[in-house]
């Protein structure tokens, strides 16, 4: 058995640990935010962590009502002078599996030395270089992926970003819904594993499109990346209706679409799915149990959470599981693709 199998299909245990750990720091996080008098929040990450930053940016804007940005660590490192004015007075939140990727470590050093920035680190190892640099650090060693491809770590870092923003906002309702999602994760995985395996073993498709909006845009982007890394397939991410603006011409019977359906405006989404089905693509939808049937090949229902960002916790499992089963079908090592390093040292 590959390590990544445990990291994907038993990740509910690490999510429970992360939740309990961060709940114990809610007041500390809230106080840090309120005393800092920050003018904005900037999320900085690399690879999968940067994808999560794009979701966290939206969460911060919606929950805190403050300016927020997400920027790749490599972009900031190469163009630090260009970003100085944007970074001044901004709280930097930096998620990272290893806490040692060169880009984000060097960015944190530059920001602190040249701008006096305050930084929060979130990593899956203890006593990382990033943790030592930052003003506040949260370490989740139980979420560390030993496989090169990130799965369990991604879900935990996504949830950690959301919990930290929720703590800053004093949003106890969000924290309660996250707890509920974590408690439901084991059952969710068991209920859907065989269904997702069946999708993966369908021979026709060999390219993937993931569609998601709002707070799920970043975690959807990470879902697309999972197919590139784990099953080594061509994959892309788009906003739901944006797929009509160009990418639609590439959809055919060889395409798998995974769609995080919005709980609003079902009419437009139904029309899109019907048009995609006419192209003989395979469609997996993830939608609210309070909404309509989406008329897809597989419609997975989620609890109708008030806070839409909570849906990202179960949603990412869909891409992780299908990409894993597809890699196994094709005889690939799903956790260690050739040429990919677990973290980058410049």
pLDDT band at 135 (very low <50, low <70, confident <90, very high): very high
Are 151 and 277 members of one domain?
A: no
- The model's pLDDT over 207-243, given as tens digits with 9 standing for 90+, comes to 999 999 999 999 999 999 999 999 999 999 999 999 9
pLDDT of residue 99 exceeding 90: yes
Q: How sure is the predictor about 343, in pLDDT bands with cuts at 50, 70 and 90?
A: low
What is the overall mean pLDDT for the chain?
Answer: 96
Residue that is last in its domain, among 118, 146, 170: 170
Q: How large a percentage of the chain has pLDDT more than 70? A: 98
**Residue at 334 is within a domain:** no
pLDDT at 232: 97
Same domain for 201 and 119: no
Distance CA 250, CA 237 (A): 13
Both 32 and 74 in a single domain?
yes
CB 259 within 8 A of CB 240: yes
CA distance 331 to 54: 33
Q: Where would I find the H helices in 37-171?
A: 48-64, 73-78, 80-87, 102-115, 129-133, 152-169
190 and 166 assigned to the same domain: no
Residue 340 has pLDDT above 80, yes or no: no
Whether residue 201 is contained in a domain is answered as yes
Residue 336 forms part of a structural domain = no
Confidence of residue 130 (pLDDT cuts 50, 70, 90): very high
User: Does 157 lie in the same domain as 23?
Assistant: yes
Judge if 62 and 27 occupy the same domain: yes
Say how far apart CA 285 and CA 277 lie, in whole Å: 12
* CA 296 to each of CA 61, 148, 232, 304: distance values in angstroms, whole numbers, following the listed order: 32, 32, 25, 19
288 φ/ψ angles, rounded to the nearest 5 degrees = -75, 140
- pLDDT computed for residue 265 by the predictor: 87
How many distinct structural domains can be found in the chain? 2
* CA 273 – CA 285 distance, rounded (Å): 9
**Domain of residue 105, CATH code:** 3.40.50.10490
82 and 144 together in one domain: yes
Give the structural domain span for 145: 3-170
Together in a domain, 146 and 243: no
> Above 70 in pLDDT, residue 344?
no
How big is the chain, counted in residues?
Answer: 346
Per-residue model confidence as pLDDT tens digits over 27-55: 999 999 999 999 999 999 999 999 999 99
Q: What digits encode the pLDDT tens for the residues 149-191?
A: 999 999 999 999 999 999 999 999 999 999 999 999 999 999 9
Report d(CA 187, CA 300) in Å as an integer. Answer: 13
pLDDT at 298 over 90: yes
Q: Which two tokens stand for residue 345?
A: 């040292």
Looking at residue 224, what is its pLDDT? 98
Select the more confidently predicted residue: 203 or 36.
36
Residue 245 and residue 152 share a domain = no
In sequence order, which residues have a C-beta less than 8 Å from that of residue 246 and are 6 or more positions away?
A: none
pLDDT of 204: 87
Query: Residue 240: left (phi > 0), alpha (psi -120 to 50), or beta?
Result: alpha
Pair 146, 9 in one domain: yes
Mean pLDDT of 67-79: 98
Residue 179 belongs to a domain: no
What is the secondary structure of 211-238 as a DSSP string?
Answer: E--GGGHHHHHHHHHHHHHHS--EEEEE
Task: Check pLDDT > 80 for residue 129.
Answer: yes
Q: Alpha-carbon torsion 176, 178, 181, 186, what sign? A: negative
The pLDDT of residue 49: 97
């Amino acid at each position: 058995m590959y390590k990544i199998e445990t990291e994907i299909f038993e990740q509910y245990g690490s999510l429970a640990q992360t939740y309990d750990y961060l709940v114990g720091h809610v007041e500390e996080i809230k106080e840090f935010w309120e005393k800092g008098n920050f003018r904005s929040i900037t999320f900085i990450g690399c690879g999968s962590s940067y994808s999560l930053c794009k979701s966290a940016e939206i969460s911060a804007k919606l929950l805190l009502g403050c300016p927020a940005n997400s920027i790749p660590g490599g972009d900031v490192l190469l163009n630090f002078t260009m970003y100085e004015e944007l970074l001044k007075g901004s709280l930097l939140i930096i998620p990272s599996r290893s806490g040692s990727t060169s880009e984000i470590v060097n960015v944190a050093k530059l920001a602190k030395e040249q701008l006096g920035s305050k930084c929060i680190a979130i990593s899956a190892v203890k006593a990382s270089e990033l943790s030592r640099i930052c003003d506040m650090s949260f370490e989740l060693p139980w979420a560390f992926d030993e496989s090169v491809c990130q799965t369990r770590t991604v879900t935990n870092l996504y949830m950690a970003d959301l919990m930290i923003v929720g703590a800053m906002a004093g949003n106890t309702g969000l924290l309660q819904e996250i707890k509920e999602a974590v408690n439901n994760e084991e059952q969710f995985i068991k209920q859907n594993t065989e269904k997702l395996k069946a999708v993966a073993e369908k021979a026709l498709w060999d390219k993937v499109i993931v569609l998601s909006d709002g707070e799920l845009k970043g975690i959807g982007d990470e879902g697309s990346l999972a197919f590139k890394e784990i099953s080594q397939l061509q994959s892309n991410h788009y906003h739901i209706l944006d797929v009509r603006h160009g990418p639609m011409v590439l959809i055919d019977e060889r395409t798998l679409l995974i769609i995080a359906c919005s709980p609003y405006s079902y009419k437009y989404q139904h029309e899109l799915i019907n048009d995609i089905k006419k192209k003989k693509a395979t469609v997996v939808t993830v939608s609210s149990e309070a909404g309509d049937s989406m008329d897809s090949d597989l419609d997975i229902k989620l609890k109708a959470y008030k806070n839409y960002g909570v849906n990202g916790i179960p949603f990412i499992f869909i891409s992780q599981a299908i990409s894993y089963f597809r890699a196994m079908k094709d005889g690939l090592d799903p956790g260690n693709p050739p040429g990919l390093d677990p973290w980058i040292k410049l």
